[in-house]
A and B are shown apart, each in its own frame.
Chain A
């Protein structure tokens, strides 16, 4: 099956800093989503982005499907951005997601 790798596994930032999270996938995808899992364990949808670029406030994402990667940008980070960021994809005719192992982000005040 398709493989999804996220980097870095851990990231510690000072409040106000910017960051880039990366997601590499091993095959063509028909869906790519970014999620934020907050400290309470809730999975929050950030972006549905199988290709192209999207922005939502301080967050933006870019997927380059032909090169099999996606990037999540967080600007002016806040302590509430802390948590785990997951990239997940579907491939072929499947609708179920395959997840990466996540990036643990800690934003210090």
Chain B
């Protein structure tokens, strides 16, 4: 257990509504990540953060925004959810070994109806 907590674990929301997913870590690791997992695609990076207020885009960032106002929390927001954003979302941190070894949270299953 790398001390990563995702909330909520499951959510069903309607198309067009805003949704925020939270990732919380119990230690002060600098790097945090949001990935999504879809059948046939493995895990793909949405956004990542390398410090408070320092974030950057990943491979599939369209339709998502992130914020990191505290070291321990990394928020992922879907401004206006669409059905294509139905997915399982994983948060990760990287630690040790030059901050390159990743550990994942338990995931959030999001369904947009």
Interface size on A, residues (CB 8 A): 21
Known: A99-B43, A101-B41. A41 touches B107 (CB 8 A): yes
Flag if A33 contacts B48 (CB, 8 Å): no
Closest residue of chain B to A100, judged by CB?
B42
Tell me the interface secondary structure of chain B in the complex. Answer: strand
Flag if A90 contacts B107 (CB, 8 Å): no
Flag if B106 contacts A97 (CB, 8 Å): no
Known: A42-B106, A96-B48. A90 touches B100 (CB 8 A): yes
Q: Which residues of B contact A98 (CB under 8 A)?
A: 45
- Please, how many angstroms separate the alpha-carbon atoms of A100 and B43 in the complex? 8
Flag if A41 contacts B102 (CB, 8 Å): no
Flag if A42 contacts B42 (CB, 8 Å): no
Q: Does A102 have its Cβ within 8 Å of any Cβ on chain B? A: yes
Flag if A101 contacts B42 (CB, 8 Å): yes
Flag if B45 contacts A97 (CB, 8 Å): yes
Flag if B45 contacts A42 (CB, 8 Å): no
* Interface, chain A (partner B; CB < 8 A): 1, 30-31, 33, 35, 41-43, 45, 48, 86, 88, 90, 95-102
